Amino acid sequence: MEIIENRASWENQFISWARHAVPVIEGGEVKEAFSTYPFVVNSSTFFQPPRVPLKDARVALISSSGAFVVKNQEPFDSTNPLGDPSFRPVPADTGVGEISFRHEQYKKEYATADPNVVFPLWLLKELAARGEIRELFSPALSFSGYIANPGYFIDTTGAEILEQLRAGDVDCALLVLV
């Protein structure tokens, strides 16, 4: 199954959009630029039932919140008009006060007040401690949800994330889209 159906057609639309939209975004008119964005539309989805019950599962956290560890990671690049497609691994033992968020497309006051709202690392640690999930996969993975080219993200960052999840023998992932 294709992640982006009719990908070549969508990529042509995206390239045409980006040619016109990037100067508009750089001029500060993000809403105007995205009024003609060629959103991906798929007619089918893939469903995979869980391999194991949650109490027996190794669970990964993946979030588009733009979370990063302040002391040793660079913030996401918010100046790129097409977004920053990279990701940041956040070790499970990271303290709640050790992260920040760089994602210019949402207001961060709620995330700052309670990071679990957009990056529920500490809630998942509690679930693991109570035995409601077997284990929390470390590191949690964060990317900035403002990525205009999902095809590029799938081919690069998505492939890297999938490789980490497979190597870590992850049973399921909680994907928190912001």
What was the pLDDT predicted at 1? 66
Its pTM stands at 0.91
Cβ neighbour number for residue 19 with a 10 Å cutoff: 9
pLDDT tens for the 178 residues of the chain, in order: 688 999 999 999 999 999 999 999 999 998 999 999 999 999 988 777 888 999 999 999 999 999 999 999 999 998 899 999 999 999 999 999 999 998 777 777 888 889 999 999 999 999 999 999 999 999 999 999 889 999 999 999 999 999 999 999 999 999 999 8
d(CA 1, CA 8): 15
DSSP-based three-state secondary structure for 133: coil
CA 101 → CA 14, 54, 58, 139, 160, distances in Å? 27, 29, 25, 17, 21
Q: What is the DSSP letter of 6?
A: T
Phi and psi (nearest 5°) for 124?
-65, -35
